Structure 1
Amino acid sequence: KENYRLKNELELIEAELAALKDTLENLGQLSAALNTMVGLEAPPPEFKTMGVGGYIEKRDGGLEAELDYVHLEIDRLLGLSRFERDNFDQLQKKLLSSRKRLQHTPSIMPTTGYFTSGFGYRRDPFTGRIKFHRGIDLSAPVGTPVIAPADGVVRKVGRDRGFGLYMVIDHGYGIQTYYAHLHKVAVRPGRRVKRGQIIAYVGNTGRSTGPHLHYEVRVNGRAVNPFKYIIPREAYYD
């Protein structure tokens, strides 16, 4: 009678172990998909069994053999669960890092207006000579708000002959954005700004042929095409 009771309990435990095994396998498939989504290389399948052991074949041999099987299977599944937990910890760190980086990537247009000049070589409107234009120009009325295209810190507000009143925002990760020919600024150097926050207003200061915003993106000090980072409005989801 005692053996019969133990056998029933073992069968219940084995059923629970089978369900746990299915759950872990599903988690493994999910983590593999998430690894791909965030750009992490999924660990090879054999990594799951390193120090854990593979499939354990159930053998006939009475209650003692049943108990041995249960203990071994518990150890194996505990090892798999630790493996998946560590993998999800890595995924969480990667996702948090990716989210932070996206928040600091200048992915929206800094103002409304008409696109009047692109990035690259063009004829200088003052000299008529071919010259490299390190940003884009957006024509808009004086006083049109300029917004931060990403989170960052205002590093500099200044004036010079070419840019007129200008501002520099440091977004981290080697990325800085420049805003020139401003009418006035709305934030001081050292202040943190969030994507979409008003930081300045379009003007006509410096070397300018009319009211517009000159906008640059620099990565590690080198000017790059801002459109490389700008995401189309229809690609945003609430």
Structure 2
Amino acid sequence: MRNWRSNVLHIGSPLLAIAALSGCGSSQSPNDSSNSSVQTVAVPQNEAVSSAIALAAAAENFEALTEQAFTAKPDELALLFAIAQESATGIAGQLDPAAAKALDGRVKDAKTAIDAGNPPDIALAAVEGYRLIVSAFSPDAKIPVAVSLLDYAGFRIQADLKSDPKRWSDAREAGKFAQEQWGLIKDSVTDTELNKRFSDSLAKLDEYLSVKDEKMAAQATVTELELVDELEGYFQPTSAINSPNNPKKGT
């Protein structure tokens, strides 16, 4: 859900096609299926390419599956899943054994949910896979891991709110997790206006989740995810996207 998603990466050979979706799921209406068409990004399968790029690309695949779990047509959903599954296999060696095993479990959970026609469980399995992948990002990356985990929290809350019945307890736990991640980076965000808006957004989100206000909580979650985009831009301005030191270069 960032400005490097919509580009198409063509690096090295052989290539693995992975999914990216035009536009941001956080700003798209849950009922809007017009943006559900699948685009592809080609990710290299050779050791010469930075592992950071491969991890970022795999995270994008799981994010795409999470965002489109409720809106993708069956054939699109099958493609999104196949791509996420293949990318998970491709990065398994870059994760510690426990994380790799857990990621495989989330892939299996997503497949089970797809077979059962259960969008909330598809989204939740995919977003947990996303969390495992972004947690393996380098602590030296320009965009802190905590920012990606704020994305994770927002996606999880969205899936919780779309579940039937609503997963209020889990959503509140995800909200608390977001507060924890924000606490790790808040002092490094010297843009006082952005800092305040993000803090306020989390406070509002907590308020609406606590009183189980579905409509307002859903709106607050969209705001949180949009502000995560702004945080990404703060830590890595557009002009730096193609920097040689940028792990997301070219994506």
TM range (shorter): under 0.3
So what's the TM-score if we normalise by structure 1?
0.25
So what's the TM-score if we normalise by structure 2?
0.24
- Is the strand fraction higher in 1 or 2? 1
- Is the helix fraction higher in 1 or 2? 2
Higher RCO (CA < 8 A, seq sep 6+)? 2
Q: Larger Cα Rg: Structure 1 or Structure 2?
A: 1
